[in-house]
Amino acid sequence: MIVDMAQQYVRTVPHVAYTGVGINPKGDVSFRTEEASRKYIMEKLIARGPWQNYGQAAVSGSATFVFQLETAKLFLTVQEARRRKPDGALAPVIVFSGNFHYDVSAEMMDSTLKVIGDILHSWRICWTEYTKLVDSVFISKEL
């Protein structure tokens, strides 16, 4: 399991001055067309403005949100992308990339390995928080 590999790495090089731990969930939602995925970003997440008509082609967009949670900051980036389907065709998607950032302070250095291990083993809690946020706040019934 990846958590065990990360914890083994920390045990192998304990002298590193660790300053943080990141847990990075990622998922996507399929759309029928690129226009629909672009419309989701440009009309649901970003305010309309003259910048949407700048340039030679439709503007692509992304948005990053920062949520202060009880034990970590959650950075969530929402962006247009394409995912390769099993038949090789590219399908339009919106990608939700999360980063749960946990600070590891200098005061924790005596117990750094335990603190980092506890954070790494909290990945299920992060995944639950991530899916709850994406499902209940960002994904509407019309998708």
- At 67-98, the pLDDT tens digits run 999 989 999 999 999 999 999 999 999 999 99
pLDDT value of residue 7: 81
User: CA 113, CA 100: separation in Å to the nearest integer?
Assistant: 18
SS3 state of residue 129: helix
Read off the DSSP letter of residue 16.
S
SS3 state of residue 35: helix
Examine the pLDDT at 109 and tell me if it is beyond 80.
no
Examine the pLDDT at 142 and tell me if it is beyond 60.
no
Domain boundaries, the chain: 2-47+59-138
For residue 102, which of 94, 92, 112 has the smallest C-alpha distance?
Answer: 112
pTM for the full predicted model = 0.86
pLDDT, tens digit, 9 for 90 and up, residues 18-50: 888 999 999 999 999 999 999 899 888 888 888
Examine the pLDDT at 143 and tell me if it is beyond 80.
no
pLDDT value of residue 108: 60
SS3 state of residue 22: strand
Examine the pLDDT at 11 and tell me if it is beyond 90.
no
